[in-house]
């Protein structure tokens, strides 16, 4: 049965994914009375929920692991370079059991309310299971891409077949053999679904709005030799990853202006052939800042895609056009025969760019011009309320009645994505204005963010203070630095979830810090070294009653 959450805690950690598990471990090591909870039925976070066909890493498995403990790292062996969701979920169970975290976790427990009490300096947290928790610190490891856009189209409830969002794919799966299946969305998720189910279904209809730049994945199986190879690099990875621009093992090595056209082309070919995200995150940093370089590299990728598709009608629907947006300003998906899926007789690409989806009707998907595509199953790979969505879906009330929901409806602001002015003793990971999925190997970033939080809480204990909160000036300064960095980046000029453009009415701001993982880390460390000098630290006024 479900474990009730203890009523008195030093710290409550919301979320039992990559961040939450390690955060729980760290705070327990500090000697705190800490507990974790998760809405899901078990550990895994993203890797619990995203069980759709073909879900897998785009980061090499051996860099997605935690690097804080050599035994934990080397005690797990991957079967391939980019494993799929079931293996990733098993790894997180291994981590949970190795660190003995299970007794400190309550599953199927959704936090509904969290209210700060300025007199005690503590949070009162309520769950949908009627837990009422009094805790000094509230740590939200709630994920950057965990609030799925489930109600995207009018008429969804009227559909007579099965309709699912990829992040709520049923545990038992869906029987798709012999069915007419529709997939809406061609982001990183849709691409994995499409290439996986194309050979298995009777008919597949893909509704494509914005075509994506894609890179082919090379995914060799790993045997004992490969395992020995990457495990042998543990120290090297541990010292390098945290300082690289995107927290991957590779980093930008070339300067566009220093190379001849032939040399540039050779770099692009070599990185394309690597079958990883190297072409995006280690070729030329100029693709993010210089329109001319962006256009040349984009054309290189488009040409690779055209050569595989051949058919002009397919090219028109599936390959981005010059001037649309540049390579790398959307999340770049890796794929395995994704484009070739459209060459199959049972697969049809329908452009909904000029003829958008109007509604879902009982028989299928209806477009603006009245065409109805009849379907038995609809898979919605339509994305998430990224960055802010996980927290605006909880009632979180800080000082003076300020709520996260109201604040972020006006303007999405944080201090380094870790704390928020007006919300003392409140911490976040994977939150807006920190490096995250957009431009970061998540585990690299989440390890650093959780370590910073544990460091701050440890400092508070040692210094005998009860409350910590960024000052308004500190938050202003971070937002200004973030915006200045982001506005120089072409990501800010392309519509996507990266900057809130995928949701009508969401305030626009690049959600991920774009200054690089290493730079961000240095800035965080500087604050810790200063004794959090730019943060307000106070003792509670009234003596604590507990
Ligand atoms: P994304 O990247 O937000 O992709 C969502 C896709 O759904 C994208 O192709 C959208 O087209 C499409 N979409 C959304 N709404 C509509 C409507 N109304 N009509 C047609 N098409 C629509 O989500 P993912 O789940 O693929 O990836 C999220 C991240 O998770 C990913 O980047 C990884 O970091 C992990 P659009 O581009 O808006 O035209």
- Interval between CA 185 and ligand 1 midpoint (Å): 5
Q: Residue 164 has what pLDDT?
A: 98
Q: Is 545's pLDDT higher than 60?
A: no
Point out the ligand 1 atom lying closest to the alpha carbon of residue 152: 18
Q: What is the pLDDT of residues 479-488, one digit of tens each?
A: 999 999 999 9
Contact 142 CB / ligand 1 (< 6 Å) = no
- In percent, the amount of the chain with pLDDT more than 90 equals 98
Point out the ligand 1 atom lying closest to the alpha carbon of residue 438: 34
Phi, psi torsion values for 371, nearest 5 degrees: -60, 135
Provide the pLDDT confidence category of residue 437 given band limits of 50, 70 and 90: confident
Q: Residue 295 has what pLDDT?
A: 98
- Interval between CA 209 and ligand 1 midpoint (Å): 9
Point out the ligand 1 atom lying closest to the alpha carbon of residue 153: 18
Q: What is the DSSP string of 19-81?
A: HHHHHHHHHHHTT--EEEE-SSSSS-THHHH--STT-B-SS-HHHHS--S-HHHHHT---SBS
pTM exceeds 0.95: yes
338 Cβ partners below 8 Å, 6+ apart? 191, 194, 195, 214
- Interval between CA 382 and ligand 1 midpoint (Å): 4
Mean pLDDT, all residues of the chain: 97
Q: What is the pLDDT of residues 118-177, one digit of tens each?
A: 999 999 999 999 999 999 999 999 999 999 999 999 999 999 999 999 999 999 999 999
Whether the complex's predicted ipTM surpasses the cut of 0.90: yes
CA distances from 529 to 75, 468, 515, 526, 539 (A): 33, 15, 21, 5, 21
Contact 382 CB / ligand 1 (< 6 Å) = yes
Point out the ligand 1 atom lying closest to the alpha carbon of residue 187: 26
Contact 28 CB / ligand 1 (< 6 Å) = no
Phi, psi torsion values for 348, nearest 5 degrees: -130, 130
- Interval between CA 192 and ligand 1 midpoint (Å): 12
Contact 144 CB / ligand 1 (< 6 Å) = no
Contact 430 CB / ligand 1 (< 6 Å) = no
Phi, psi torsion values for 230, nearest 5 degrees: -75, -35
CA-nearest of 145, 179, 151, 181 to 165 is 151
Q: Find the mean pLDDT for residues 362-375.
A: 98
Provide the pLDDT confidence category of residue 356 given band limits of 50, 70 and 90: very high
Question: Cβ distance 35 to 12 under 8 Å?
Answer: yes
Q: Find the mean pLDDT for residues 411-437.
A: 96
- Interval between CA 290 and ligand 1 midpoint (Å): 25
- Interval between CA 174 and ligand 1 midpoint (Å): 21
């Amino acid at each position: 049965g479900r474990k009730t959450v203890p009523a008195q805690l030093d710290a409550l950690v919301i979320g039992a994914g990559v961040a939450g598990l390690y955060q729980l471990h760290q705070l327990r090591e500090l000697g705190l009375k800490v507990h974790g909870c998760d809405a899901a039925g078990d550990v895994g976070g993203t890797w619990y929920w995203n069980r759709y066909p073909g879900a897998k890493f785009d980061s090499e498995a051996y860099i997605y692991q935690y690097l804080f403990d050599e035994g934990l790292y080397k005690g797990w062996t991957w079967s391939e370079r980019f494993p799929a969701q079931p293996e990733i979920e098993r790894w997180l169970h291994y981590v949970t059991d190795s660190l003995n975290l299970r007794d400190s976790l309550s599953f199927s427990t959704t936090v509904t309310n969290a209210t700060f009490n300025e007199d005690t300096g503590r949070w009162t947290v309520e769950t949908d299971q009627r837990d009422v928790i009094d805790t000094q610190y509230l740590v939200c490891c709630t994920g950057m891409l965990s609030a799925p856009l489930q109600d995207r189209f009018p008429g969804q409830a009227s559909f007579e077949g099965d309709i699912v969002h990829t992040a709520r794919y049923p545990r038992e799966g869906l029987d798709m053999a012999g069915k007419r299946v529709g997939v809406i969305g061609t982001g990183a998720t849709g691409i994995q679904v499409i290439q996986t189910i194309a050979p298995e279904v009777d008919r597949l209809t893909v509704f494509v709005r914005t075509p994506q730049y894609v890179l082919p994945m090379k995914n060799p199986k790993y045997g004992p030799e490969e395992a020995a190879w990457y495990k042998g690099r543990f120290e090297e990875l541990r010292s390098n990853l945290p300082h690289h621009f995107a927290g991957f093992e590779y980093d930008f090595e070339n300067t566009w202006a220093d190379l001849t056209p032939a040399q540039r082309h050779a770099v692009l070919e070599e990185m394309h052939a690597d079958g990883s995200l190297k072409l995006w995150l280690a070729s030329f940093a100029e693709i993010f800042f210089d329109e001319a370089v962006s256009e040349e590299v984009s054309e290189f990728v488009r040409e690779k895609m055209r050569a595989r598709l051949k058919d002009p009608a397919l090219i028109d629907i599936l390959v981005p056009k010059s001037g649309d947006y540049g390579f790398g300003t959307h999340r770049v998906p890796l794929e395995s025969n994704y484009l070739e899926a459209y060459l199959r007789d049972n697969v049809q690409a329908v452009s909904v760019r000029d003829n958008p989806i109007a509604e879902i009707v009982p028989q299928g998907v209806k477009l603006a011009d009245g065409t109805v595509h009849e379907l038995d199953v609809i898979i919605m790979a339509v994305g998430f309320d990224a960055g802010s969505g996980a927290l605006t879906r909880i009632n979180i009330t800080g000082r003076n009645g300020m709520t996260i929901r109201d604040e972020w409806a006006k303007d999405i602001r944080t201090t380094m994505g870790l704390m928020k002015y007006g919300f003392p003793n409140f911490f976040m990971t994977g939150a807006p204005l920190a490096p995250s999925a957009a431009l970061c190997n998540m585990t690299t970033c989440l390890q650093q963010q959780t370590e910073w939080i544990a460091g701050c809480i440890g400092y508070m204990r040692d210094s005998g203070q009860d409350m910590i909160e960024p000052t308004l000036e500190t938050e202003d300064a971070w937002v200004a630095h973030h915006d200045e960095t982001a506005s120089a980046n072409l990501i800010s000029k392309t519509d996507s979830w990266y900057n809130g453009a995928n949701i009508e009415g969401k305030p626009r701001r690049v959600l991920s810090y774009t200054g690089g993982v290493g730079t961000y880390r240095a800035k965080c460390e500087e604050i810790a070294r200063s004794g959090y000098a730019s943060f307000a630290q106070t003792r509670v006024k009234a003596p604590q009653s507990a």
